[in-house]
């Protein structure tokens, strides 16, 4: 029984960074896919890099200039 609990804890610790990146508003599109690959491969190191590199405010929407 202890092995099952240990396995669940380890799997949760591995999946948590993936869930954090998927639910984050900091990135979108192919950029998010790249970060997901990095987090899946490197887990917590990838998540640490994600938080240090990607800006907190995320992407800003560009205003279209209307010709006058």
User: Would you say the pTM of this structure is higher than 0.75?
Assistant: no
Number of structural domains in the chain: 1
Taking only the tens place, the pLDDT of each residue in 7-56 is 999 999 999 999 999 999 988 999 999 999 999 999 889 989 999 998 88
Rg (CA), the chain: 17
- Is residue 31 in some structural domain? yes
- Is residue 37 in some structural domain? yes
Residue 34 structural domain: 26-54
Longest CA–CA span in the chain (Å) reads 72
- Is residue 45 in some structural domain? yes
pLDDT confidence of residue 56: 81
């Amino acid at each position: 029984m202890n092995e099952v609990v240990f396995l669940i804890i380890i799997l949760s610790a591995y999946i948590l960074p993936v869930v954090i990146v998927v639910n984050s508003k900091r990135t979108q599109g192919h950029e998010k896919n790249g970060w997901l690959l990095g987090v899946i491969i490197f887990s917590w190191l990838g998540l640490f890099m994600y938080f240090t590199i990607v800006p907190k405010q995320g992407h800003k929407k560009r205003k279209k200039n209307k010709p006058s």
